Amino acid sequence: AQSVSQHNHHVILSEAASLELGCNYSYGGTVNLFWYVQYPGQHLQLLLKYFSGDPLVKGIKGFEAEFIKSKFSFNLRKPSVQWSDTAEYFCAVIRNTGNQFYFGTGTSLTVIP
């Protein structure tokens, strides 16, 4: 069955620290990949997406993610986090033949000023 794993459940960083959140998926075929962010009390917002082409994808607010097909991974990175990045981050995968998104369980990021 399709699954998406986010290994870091809770991450606490100080401002200006670098961030990397892991995401691995289990489907072997062609997939499209997404990272969503959910700020406290708000709805999910799209950070970035990968469909094809350059595996290094740049998103909003200085986030980027790298698709490594051989590792079935799509890790999210940011060189220097800010207090305003405190939120829940969800990785999502959809197969190119499917209708539904598969979401990871999310990573809660807390940035300490």
Q: Which residues bind other proteins (CB under 8 A)?
A: 4, 6, 32, 34, 36, 42-46, 49, 51, 90, 92, 94, 96, 98-106
Tell me whether residue 27 or residue 102 sits nearer to other proteins (CB atom): 102
Residue 80 or 100: the one with the smaller Cβ distance to other proteins is 100
C-alpha span between 104 and 76 (Å, rounded): 13
**Of 5, 2, 1, 29, nearest to 91 (Cα)?**
5
Report the amino acid identity of residue 43. Answer: H
Q: Tell me how far, at minimum, the Cβ of 32 lies from other proteins, in Å.
A: 5
